[in-house]
Amino acid sequence: MEPFALIACLLGIAVLMNDTPRGVSEDNSAASDTAELVRAWRGGDPQAFNRLVLLYQSRIYNLALNYVKTNEEAKDLAQDIFVTVFKSLPNLRDENKFSAWLHQLALNHCRNRYRKLRRRGYFNSTSVDDDFGAELAAPDDPSRNLEQKERNALVRATIAAMPEAEKEILILRDLQELSYEEISETLGVPLGTVKSKLNRARLTFKNRIKHLLRTP
């Protein structure tokens, strides 16, 4: 099983991700809808920003969760990110680049919060599986709930232990499902570099997760 499919399977994601780039029409449609909301907000529509938040809140929360480990910290971090987005949105030059701009801003927040919490010793007293899986597992099946939570913790811990560059590109592509172009813009690296780094990151994840799955 390929690494990205393995991640999806272990996390219990209903629709498996694949490595086929999203269609041009799909990317353009999503970018166009987002751009319209940005323009509407700039034009004085206060509800447009609320709709932007609704479109991206799950992605940003999940991104935050990969760094701060618990639901409460992730919610707090996601809220801080959207406050910054609200303040910084007037500086966005190209409305069609909103997704890459948002993820770049969110990554900076996540990195800073992670380093701040690490300096405080937060991760020494917080288990990486404290909250993972609680919302994905079936609430009416305790055994399945526990199994899914354990799988989520395994995947998250494996990704968290990877080098930062590999961890981020894996999260952006295989968990956040950003296109190669969006990742290139978010990380500020050439498209070819994105693909080569992603291949290395997937190989690292595959080897580590296989080792853990074989461990009694």
- How many domains does the structure of the chain reveal? 1
Domain holding 132, by residue range, is 3-12+25-214
Contacts of 2 (CB under 8 A, 6+ apart): 19, 202, 206
Over the stretch 107-129, which tens digit does the pLDDT of each residue have? Answer: 999 999 999 998 888 777 655 44
Instruction: Reduce the DSSP state of residue 152 to 3 states and report it.
Output: helix
Residue 35 has pLDDT above 50, yes or no: yes
Q: Is residue 20 one of the residues assigned to a domain?
A: no
Q: Is residue 18 one of the residues assigned to a domain?
A: no
Q: Is residue 19 one of the residues assigned to a domain?
A: no
Q: What is the pTM of this model?
A: 0.73
Q: Is residue 141 one of the residues assigned to a domain?
A: yes
What does DSSP assign to residue 171?
A: I
CATH number of the domain encompassing residue 184? 1.10.1740.10
pLDDT number for residue 143: 61
Of 84 and 128, the structure prediction assigns the larger pLDDT to: 84
Which structure tokens are listed for 42?
A: 């700039």
Contacts of 182 (CB under 8 A, 6+ apart): 99, 100, 103, 172
Over the stretch 49-69, which tens digit does the pLDDT of each residue have? Answer: 999 999 999 999 999 998 988
Q: Is residue 193 one of the residues assigned to a domain?
A: yes
Q: Is residue 17 one of the residues assigned to a domain?
A: no
Residue from 202, 200, 198 nearest 186 by CA? 198
Over the stretch 142-180, which tens digit does the pLDDT of each residue have? Answer: 566 667 777 777 887 888 888 888 999 999 998 888 999
Q: Is residue 104 one of the residues assigned to a domain?
A: yes
CB 162, CB 205: distance < 8 Å: yes
What does DSSP assign to residue 133?
A: T
Q: Is residue 186 one of the residues assigned to a domain?
A: yes
